[in-house]
Each structure stands twice: as C-alpha cells, then as structure tokens.
Amino acid sequence: MWFTDPPYYDAIPYSDLSDFCFVWLKRALAGHALMKDPFDPSNPLTPKDSELVEDEVKKVAGRAKDGAFFEAEMAVAFTEGCRVLKEDGIASVVFAHKTTEGWEALLSGMIRGGWTITGSWPIATEMASRLRARESAALATSVHLVCRPRPDNAEVGDWAHVLRELPNRVGDWMERLQGEGVRGADLVFACIGPALEIFSRYKSVETADGREVKLAEYLEKVWEVVGRSALAQVLGTADATARNGAAEAVEEDARLTALFLWTLQATDGEAAEDTGDEGEDEEAADEDEDDEGASRGKAKGFTLVFDVVRRFAQPLGIELPKWEGRVIETKKGVVRLLPIAERAKQLFGEDGAQAVAARLEQETTTTNPLQGMLFPDMQPGAAPTIRGRGRGFSKRGGAEVSDESLAAAREATTLDRVHAAMLLQAGGRTNALRALLKAEQERGPDFVRLANALSALYPKGSEEKRLIDAMLLAVPR
C-alpha cells in the first residue's frame, strides 16, 4: 500500500511554518548536518525550492510556483509512487481543500502520474474546534481518494460514453453519502472519486472527431452534474434542468441562492451564519476573509469562494454579474450572499417596508400587489458592476451583461417576493403579509415551493431561518 497526505495546494506554507521551530533546533543542534539545506547551501533556514506548494511569491529558477508548477511536480511524485507500488497494490491520497482549482491541480497530477481513481471516502479526521477550522473554509472531513495503477494497455475512452455514465454514477454516490450524513462541500468533493473513475480508467478520452478531452473540461461536467443533482433535490427536476425562462421553474436568482445555501451545509449539521458589527472598518473585514472558501468575515451574510460559485453557476446558465449587488456581493475573490436585512432598502426604496405595507393593506383585491412597488429606486439603465476577480471579468473588475438580462433583472422575481414577505414578517405587518400571501397563492405554487426549500436550507439559528418559518406559518391552508 502507498499512502500519502500531500501538500494542500496553496492552503499551508509548510516550510515557513517549519522555520518557526527550525531556528530553535539549530540552537540545540548547532553544526548538525541535518540543520543545513542540502539543495541550497546559502539558505540558513528550511528548504524552499523543493517545496511542492502553490505559492507564486516563491520562485524556482526564475519560475513562479503557480498552479502549473504544482500540477507538474505532483505528477512527478505520483509517477514515483506508481513505480514503487506492487502490481496488485493500492494507494490512498488524503486531500481536504475547498477550491476547485486545488482539486483540479492535484487530480491532474495523479492522472498524469499513471493512476486510476476508484473511489473517495470523506472521513471525519479533523476536530471542529481545531485552530485551523475556526472561522475558515477547512472541510469538516478529509477526502480519502482510493487509487490503483492504471494498466499499461488501457484503452482510449469515448467522450459520449463517459458523459452518459457520469450522471448515474454521481447520483448514486450522492444518495449514498447523504444517507451517511455527508453534506455540502464535503459531499461535492467526495463525489470526485467516483466521477474520476470513469475518466481515469482510460489512457485518454477522445471525442468522435479524435479531439482529446482534458481533465479540466471533464471536471466542468462533474460540477454541472453535481449542481443539477443538488437542485433536483431541493427545488425539483424542472429547476435542475431549466435554463433561463423555462416553464415550471423559478428564476435563476432563486436557483443561485438555493445552490449557494446547499453548498454551505456542513457534515456536522452546523452551518453558522456569518455575523459581525456593521460599523467595523470594511478593510479590516476584507483581511479576515479566508481566500480558501466559506469565510466568516466582519460583514453579515453567507460566503463562498468565487471559484466554487462560478463553477456551479456557469453550467446552469446563471449569470452572476446580473445578480451582483442585488442577491450577491463579490469582493476580493469571495462571494457573499446578501442577508435580507441588506435588501430592505433595495426592495422597498427609501419609503421602506412600512409604506409598502400600508399600500398592500389598501390593495387587497389585486392579484399582484407587489407589482410596481419593489425596486422603486432602481434606474432603468443601471448596470451591475463587480469588484471581484476571476474568469469572465474585465481588467477593470466589471462584467458585461446583455440588455435583455438587465431588463429581466429589473423585474421582481419569486425570490424577491419571498424576501419581501420575510421583511413584512420582520416588521410585524400582519395584514399586509396576509394580502401578499393570498395573492401569491392565486399566482401559483412557486412562492410557497421556494419558501419551503429555503426554510430547509437556511442554517438553524439564523435570522433568515426564523423569519421564513414564521412567514410560512401565516400561509393560508
């Protein structure tokens, strides 16, 4: 057996941490041969050049230690592991990183090293109270990838066949893991092993016209299948397969919110709400944001690393720039799901919920009481801007959205009306809330269906969970 717990991409600066203890060891073992860098005699501390991490600050022979460096060197390491293992041997690789970039670099190195990934098991090896897990994106489990050497005579795979097999494999694995209490990001990354078995059993995978399919392209399909499977569970099949404007499906902001909250679920059953003092300096809040994933910064709301949100949103036809500043806020590579308290002015304008409630109480006969009341301050030509970074963004940090998308974004969606009802509940405007709920029932089932789904997704103890449950109690039976 070959067992390894390799470096976690950019998560931990191992050699820098080692230096903390190394300076004391050098005092205790002065002149010892092991206290010198054998690869760089001029380096008085621990070796840095040979360290296999993603850290672009450090350079080797003038080359930055970027993702390509990590992937290439990981392939060298895994090739050696494959060489020393007996033919009937087995390997296990432990990884616990919450960005798709880190996973893609590791998996690409493993496949290039000659391995077939046959399974993956999330194992609770970490203490929730450990320092690394406090206010950070560390997974609640470590994912153990089970591997075997790929036969030298492995055949070329057919891309169409691989895509047909993928949904069933991921769906079966998700059902099994959920039955064992695995949730959220732990579940997402634990599905990688079974999905990779389909792809990595071949020496290469090609399309009908002979084009070789790269791992990154396949993983995009994996994220899409996982995302659609998650939406099917929380919203229904129509929403999982829907594109924009599809019949019998809620709008994309609702799908984005549901998928966001689903990913935040924790295997230990606790996904605490991000809280903080609204008066704190915004810059200080930014410094507290964990670049690895769901951080707990100073700003209130739920957060995920932008890369994870983008990986799910794009294949599902969700245009993130369209919902920037309305449902989400992107800053320094982290996406924050805006709490409904921050949407009050946006939804009701300067007049606030109380004025809208008064109008609702007077217009109880209309079948669409919120029409024309929400977003009173939104300018017809206003375009959303993003202060994030990543693919799909311009150099200035903004993003392009079509005029048709902007026109649709200015209309009140089912999610907007659910949030408006929650705000009326928070304000104690019972009569206005009843009028709204009655009108929504006459409109169709989407309002109550989405509200029930969000109720199941919001973390226990959060303000949103309390408000939506109280609002649902007022729905006429």
What pLDDT does 134 receive?
42
Flag whether 324 is in a domain. Answer: yes
Are the beta carbons of 339 and 463 closer than 8 angstroms?
yes
Strand pairing report for 302-305 and 334-337: antiparallel
Q: Which two structure tokens, joined as six digits, stand for 113?
A: 């090293």
By the 10 Å C-beta count (0-12 exposed, 13-18 middle, 19+ buried), 32 is classed as exposed
Residues 223, 289 within the same domain: no
Structure token digits, residue 189:
């990354």
Q: Which residues pair with 277 in a beta bridge?
A: none
Q: Is residue 350 part of a domain?
A: yes
DSSP 8-class letter at 324:
B
254 and 230 together in one domain: no
Ordered strands of the 2-4 beta sheet:
2-4, 91-95, 142-149, 115-123
Q: How far is 87 from 94, CA to CA, in rounded Å?
A: 21
pLDDT band at 277 (very low <50, low <70, confident <90, very high): very low
Select the more confidently predicted residue: 368 or 335.
335
Which pLDDT belongs to residue 247?
46
Res 266: pLDDT: 67
Residues 420, 360: Cα–Cα separation, whole Å: 12
Check whether residue 336 and residue 435 sit in a common domain. Answer: yes
Structural tokens at position 462: 């959060």
Looking at the whole model, is its pTM more than 0.75?
A: no
Question: Is 251 in the same domain as 319?
Answer: yes
Same domain, yes or no: 262 and 329:
yes
Residue 49 pLDDT > 70: yes
Contact (Cβ atoms closer than 8 angstroms) between residue 113 and residue 6: no
Phi then psi for residue 254, to 5 deg, are -70, -40
Residue 117 DSSP SS3? strand
Task: For the chain, report the end-to-end CA distance as a whole number of angstroms.
Answer: 60
Q: Which of 234, 265, 287 is the last residue of a domain?
A: 234
Looking at the fold, whether 345 and 298 belong to one and the same domain comes out as yes
Judgement on whether residues 436 and 375 belong to the same structural domain of the protein? yes
Residue 113 has pLDDT above 80, yes or no: yes
Query: What range does the domain containing 433 cover?
Result: 246-473
Tell me, rounded to whole angstroms, the distance of Cα 409 from its chain centroid.
Answer: 23
Question: What is the C-alpha separation between 295 and 134, in angstroms, rounded?
Answer: 9
Pairwise CA distance, residues 72 & 93, whole Å: 17
Q: Domain boundary at 234, 265, 293, which?
A: 234
Mean pLDDT, range 296-317, rounded to an integer: 77
Q: From residue 428, how far is each of 105, 433, 434, 470 by CA, in Å? A: 51, 9, 11, 11
Domain-located, residue 295: yes
What is the band of 185 on the pLDDT scale with cuts at 50, 70, 90?
A: confident
Structure-model confidence comparison of residues 192 and 112, the more confident one: 112
What would the mean pLDDT of 343-361 be, rounded to a whole number? 65
**229 and 297 share a domain?**
no
In the 3-class helix/strand/coil scheme, how is 40-55 assigned residue by residue?
A: CCCCCCCCCCCCCCCE
Q: Is it the case that residue 288 has pLDDT exceeding 50?
A: no
Q: Determine, yes or no, domain membership for 136.
A: yes
Asked if residue 71 and residue 8 are part of one domain, the reply reads yes
User: CA–CA separation, 450 vs 221, rounded Å?
Assistant: 26
Reported as a single tens digit per residue, the pLDDT across 199-236 is 988 988 999 999 999 888 898 888 888 888 888 888 87
Transcribe 193-207 into DSSP letters. HHHHHHHHTSSEEE-
Q: Tell me which of 237-241, 276-280, 291-295, 452-456 is least confident.
A: 276-280
Q: Are residues 291 and 179 in the same domain?
A: no
Residues 228 and 265 in one domain: no
Taking the C-alpha atoms of residue 70 and residue 56, their distance in angstroms, rounded to an integer, is 10
pLDDT of the residue at 370: 56
pLDDT for position 207: 94
Residues 129-149: tens digit of each pLDDT: 444 444 434 455 678 889 999
So what's the pLDDT on residue 285?
Answer: 39
* Stretch 97-121: mean pLDDT: 81
Q: How many domains does the chain have?
A: 2
Least confident piece of the model among 266-270, 315-319, 424-428: 266-270
Domain end (from 171, 204, 234): 234
> Is the domain of 17 the same as that of 133?
yes
Domain-located, residue 241: no
d(CA 248, CA 234): 15
Round to whole Å and give the CA distance between 337 and 326.
9
Range with the lowest mean pLDDT among 219-223, 368-372, 384-388?
384-388
More confident of the two residues 431 and 411 = 431
219 inside domain: yes
Beta strands at 2-4 and 91-95: parallel, antiparallel or unpaired: parallel
